Amino acid sequence: MTEFYYYDSSFYAAVLLDTILLFDFHSDVPEQFYLDFPEERLRKAAQTVFFISHTHSDHYTGKVFDLLGDKAVYIADRAVGNPKGLPLIPVEPGSRVDLGDIRVSVFGSTDEGVSFGVTVGRVRIFHAGDLNLWHWTGENTEEEEKEARDWFERELEKVAAGFPCPDYAMFPVDGRMNGNYSEGAEEFIRKVRPRVFLPMHFWKNWEIPRAFAEKRFQGTKTAVIRGYGKIDI
């Protein structure tokens, strides 16, 4: 059984039996996380792995290294560094990491950093980091718009080829963008074909994931995110 928990921005926790995966612990984590995952729970897990896609404050804070110290494993974009000499594995697009039952394929982004394809046993999970079609209609020039689309298409093709049909995928649906803000997410679903889509990076605008969940995609179910904590999928 796989459980998912959401804690604002792009911070998701995934629990697979006695393994805990934590993606993009950031600088403004809600208190609900500490209620759901007290230190004792993290320490009792057979393995706790933190994934850090890049250094933007809504995806990363140095406080992540204080939670468990060397009792956890950290898989982080190379730019993060290793300020405390902990068991950290620096990665970049194209990296592969093997932690026994956990295997990680690292893909690119259309902003800073990386995205992650993670396989735990037979369960396959994708976390996009800041991979998205960042097109700011009315702000970008036509040339910038084209560059953004071309960049996204290139990175998306790599994910579709290297990590197709994940069981779960976490991907931005950012309503701050003008025009069709969900275009990148929709294209991701069509090309990568996740079984369950988990929205993120919607800046506390809870209407965004609710509205996106009303869209219908063949073969993909969208989780409805109503608040922080465990998600009913």
CA distance linking residue 6 with residue 230, whole number of Å: 7
CB 52, CB 77: distance < 8 Å = yes
d(Cα 28, Cα 95) in Å, to the nearest integer? 29
Q: Which residue ranges in the chain fall short of pLDDT 70?
A: none
78-56-11 Cα angle (round to 5):
95
Ordered by start, the domain boundaries in the chain are 2-230
Assigned CATH for 2-230 = 3.60.15.10
Strand 12-16 relative to strand 2-6: parallel, antiparallel, unpaired?
antiparallel
pLDDT given for residue 35 in this prediction: 98
CB of 1 within 8 A of CB of 17?
Answer: yes
Residue 183 structure tokens:
């275009």
Say how far apart CA 131 and CA 24 lie, in whole Å: 13
Say how many residues make up the chain: 233
- 178-191 confidence digits (pLDDT tens): 778 899 999 999 99
Q: What distance in Å separates the CA atoms of residue 69 and residue 223, rounded to the nearest whole number?
A: 32
Q: Can you tell me the distance from the alpha carbon of 189 to that of 216, in angstroms, rounded to the nearest whole number?
A: 11
Which residue type does 149 have? R
What pLDDT, on a 0 to 100 scale, did the predictor assign at position 144?
86
